[in-house]
Amino acid sequence: MSQKENNILLGHGSGGQMMHDLIENVFIKHFGNTILNEQADSAILPVSSEEIAFTSDSFVIDPLFFPGGNIGKLAVCGTVNDLAVSGAEPLYISVSFIIEEGFPMSDLEIIVESLASEAKNAGVLVVTGDTKVVNKGKCDKLFINTSGIGLIRKKDRYISKAFNIKTGDFIIINGTIGDHGMAVMNARESFNFKSAVESDCASLNKLIREVIDKSTIKFMRDPTRGGVATVLNELAGKIQLGIEIDESALPLDKSVEAMCELLGFDPLHIANEGKVLFVAGEQDGFKILEVLKNNELGKKSAIIGRVVSDHPGKVVLKNQTGGRRIVDSLAGDQLPRIC
Amino acid sequence: MKYIDEYRKKDLILSVSEKLKSISTKAIVLMEVCGGHTMAIHRFGLLSLLPPTIRLISGPGCPVCVSSQLFIDTAMAYSKVPGVIVTTYGDLIRVPGSTTSLEKERASGGDIRIIYSVLESLGIAKKNPDKSVIFLGIGFETTAPATAAAILQAKRENITNFFVLSAHKVMPPVMEALVKEGVIIDGFIAPGHVSAITGTAIYNDLASVFGLGVVVSGFEPVDMMQSVLMLAVQIESGKSKVEVQYQRVVNSEGNKIAQQMLNEVFELRDDRWRGLGLIAKSGLKIRDNLSSFDAEKHFTVEVPESSEPKGCICGQILRGLKTPVDCGLFGKKCTPSEPVGACMVSGEGTCATYFKYRS
Amino acid sequence: MCLAIPAKVISVNGVTALVTIEDVEYTASLLLLDDVNPGDFIMLHAGFAIQKVDADEAAETLQLLQDEVNNRPDEFKP
């Protein structure tokens, strides 16, 4: 076994002994399981005759480390959540690294450890992966791609189709909005604001499973890049009904609110990484709220609006002073490379 | 948030709105000249709380919108000069120049950095002694003192690679120009934070010479409604004076330190306002004895022939003669994601505000 | 660009002051304002303290407005 290097070198991506050592000493060390340990070119996975959900996500976040997490944790949450909001139970993920030459080994280890820990937390296995190293300057420190597979039970298949949504249905969210975007922005820019805002980055599959098992939802999606506004606009367009949000009902962390005031941002357009929007009938809506509030990841849940027959295809915000205004999808790039 | 939430209370807003409806008899047009006011009016839906007799129009209150095409094109040209770091407030990053934008130049490799405070530019200059750091100075009297302070600080610390391209402007001349031009205005809602710096004497002529009421307003919905009420009361009683609604921040003297610094660093010059043409003594130029910090004196760049985009009526919108909905491009060819004119790009431009807060 | 926000002064350190808006901290420049003390509120604009907030004036304005509402409580229920 060769001596442990301090930095990633081009040789670590070359396929030879150095790469072998990197895989053994860093990746297998943290991710190891019977499937992965086989180290075959493809992971052979036992599945039943249900439908498979499959998703892929790449993570190019800058900075790599931010309050509340790092790119490793995010790489799991993002993919797990994409599967979970489709109604699937996330099972397996692949993790591919593109690493810039010179990247500190110690940072890689911390990130991999976080990734492994989050995978364990979410109950998914890392079963395959890839490593590439590129010359200095050819990628910005570290990019990660995770692809994930989950199983969808027949009874949950309807969830991603947005059927049966009617006027009067509730829109519910499991907590405060804009935390992730603001936390990352604080960590990245030289603006020099200090706040305790942390990314809300979290795997939501267990929370979602609880909600699905104990109630009936009509639709759900996670508001990542583009924020709550973008997801709701997509939904309104899909169902050709209107959506009305109540500004005073939006859960908002005070520091996030202050940062938005300071910099002129709209929290509805800022990325979240630990939030899910549910649409449900009124009765189910109250039940869902109850389930959410009893969960660690849903303490600040709230019913934020309803589906309405007015202004089909559009999202309207009723603000605290009684006025109404249209809420658009995010135009342009409020904050680049936020996930 | 303290000193904000209290001024957003619905019952207070409605109370002022009721009072306004009860006293207003004359049909009047009030103009605000501050992007922050434009935003507040639309964000909080205040137009629906006004009686039909009162019309609020937006004037040239967005510093980005009124900056000339030449300034924007010069900024882009600077970003292409090797060894230059362009630092700017975020508002400018997507403004379209004649051929490109700072955002596009950044994508092509230009070193363009968004900062929150001009002092960050100084920091960047100190950290990069082999580069030239150019700061894009836009803004009215609220923001110009910060630039002045930065230049004086740079002088104290002997920083020789920090430069400012000044497009700073002052408000009163353009307010008077609009009145002289014949734009129908019965009263002005004056910018609260400009006035925090300048004090209120700058509006005296508007009241005494032109007979127009001026109320210096804060930015929360209660502030704005109260300012409209104060103006309506004046006009209904045939008076015209300068009053301050925003008393918690504005006093008649203003900020003397800031005024002094402005005077030390800048002098007035005739300046071109986009859509309004040349307005005498309305721009701030860096004084000759500080010309070592003046980007215009140091960098010669080639700038494309300035062209106003076809069909864009920003000029008339900035004068309050038309509203965004009168523009054929509004919401169709010109949107926040694909802006044609500056009024749409800047977050507080009239068109961007109308679009964002349309109902 | 007009964005100026009231911030509370926590401590003063020569030409800078540590200010907070809710829990967000910022080191503001005092190059444009003097006689600033911990406990004061200032208007923060583009990284500078540009003016102080007069607590008495603020209270007075609000009280007048509130009195109006209190005199006719039923009309202005939110």
CB contact under 8 A, C46 and B15: no
Q: What is the per-residue pLDDT across B57-89, written as a single tens digit (0 to 9) for each?
A: 988 888 888 888 889 899 999 999 999 999 998
Listed by start position, the domains of chain B span 5-60+173-244, 64-170+280-298, 314-356
Q: Closest CB to B118: pick one of C3, C46, C50.
A: C46
What pLDDT is attached to residue A335?
A: 45
Phi, psi (degrees; rounded to nearest 5) at C11: -155, 155
Neighbours of chain B (3+ CB pairs under 8 A): A, C
Q: State the CATH architecture for B5-60+173-244.
A: 3-Layer(aba) Sandwich (3.40)
Residue that wins the pLDDT comparison between B99 and A22: A22
Q: Tell whether A193 is within 8 A of chain C (Cβ).
A: yes
What's the whole-number mean pLDDT along residues B296-301? 94
Tell which residue, C13, C5, B8, B202, has the closest CA to residue A265. Answer: C5
- Which range, of A69-83, A270-284, B268-282, C43-57, averages the lowest pLDDT? B268-282
Listed by start position, the domains of chain C span 4-76
CB contact under 8 A, C32 and B142: no
What pLDDT is attached to residue A2?
A: 45
Q: Is A158 exposed, middle or buried (0-12, 13-18, 19+ CB in 10 A)?
A: middle
What pLDDT is attached to residue B131?
A: 97
What pLDDT is attached to residue B30?
A: 96
Q: What is the per-residue pLDDT across A318-338, written as a single tens digit (0 to 9) for each?
A: 887 777 788 888 765 554 444
Does the domain spanning C4-76 belong to CATH 2.30.30.140? yes
Q: What is the per-residue pLDDT across A87-139, written as a single tens digit (0 to 9) for each?
A: 899 999 999 999 999 999 999 999 999 999 999 999 999 999 999 999 999 99
CB contact under 8 A, C26 and A193: yes
Q: Does ipTM surpass 0.90 in this model? A: yes
Count of CB contacts below 8 A, A vs B?
68
**Which residues face B217 on adjacent strands?**
B191
Q: What secondary structure letter does DSSP report for A25?
A: I
What pLDDT is attached to residue C73?
A: 60
Structural fold of domain B64-170+280-298: Rossmann fold (3.40.50)
Rounded-to-integer distance, Cα B64 and Cα B58, Å: 15
Rounded-to-integer distance, Cα C68 and Cα B13, Å: 11
CA dihedral B133, B137, B141, B144 (to 10 degrees): 10
| Strand residue runs (E) in chain B | 28-32, 54-58, 84-89, 112-115, 132-137, 162-166, 187-191, 213-217, 242-244, 266-273, 277-286
Residue that wins the pLDDT comparison between C37 and A87: C37
Tell which residue, B135, B188, B156, has the closest CA to residue B320. Answer: B188
Any residues with CB less than 8 A from the CB of A32 and at least 6 apart, and which?
A: none
Mean pLDDT for all residues in chain B: 91
Residue that wins the pLDDT comparison between C1 and B125: B125
Count of CB contacts below 8 A, A vs C?
36
pTM, two decimals, is 0.86
Residue that wins the pLDDT comparison between B341 and A322: B341
Nearest-Cα distance to chain C for A193, in Å, is 5
CB contact under 8 A, B10 and A322: yes
What pLDDT is attached to residue A62?
A: 87
Q: What is the per-residue pLDDT across B11-60, written as a single tens digit (0 to 9) for each?
A: 999 999 999 999 999 999 999 999 899 888 888 888 888 999 999 998 88
Has residue A282 got a pLDDT over 60?
yes
Percent of chain B with pLDDT over 90: 66
For domain A10-155, give the CATH superfamily: PurM-like, N-terminal domain (3.30.1330.10)
Listed by start position, the domains of chain A span 10-155, 162-327
| Strand residue runs (E) in chain A | 51-59, 65-66, 69-70, 89-100, 125-134, 142-152, 170-173, 193-194, 219-221, 242-246, 277-280, 302-308, 315-318, 324-327
Asked if B5-60+173-244 and B64-170+280-298 have one fold, the answer is: yes
- The CATH number of the structural domain formed by A162-327 is 3.90.650.10
Mean pLDDT for all residues in chain C: 89
Q: What is the per-residue pLDDT across B241-294, written as a single tens digit (0 to 9) for each?
A: 999 999 999 999 999 999 999 999 999 999 988 878 899 999 999 999 999 999
Provide the token pair at B213.
Answer: 């009421």
What pLDDT is attached to residue A336?
A: 46
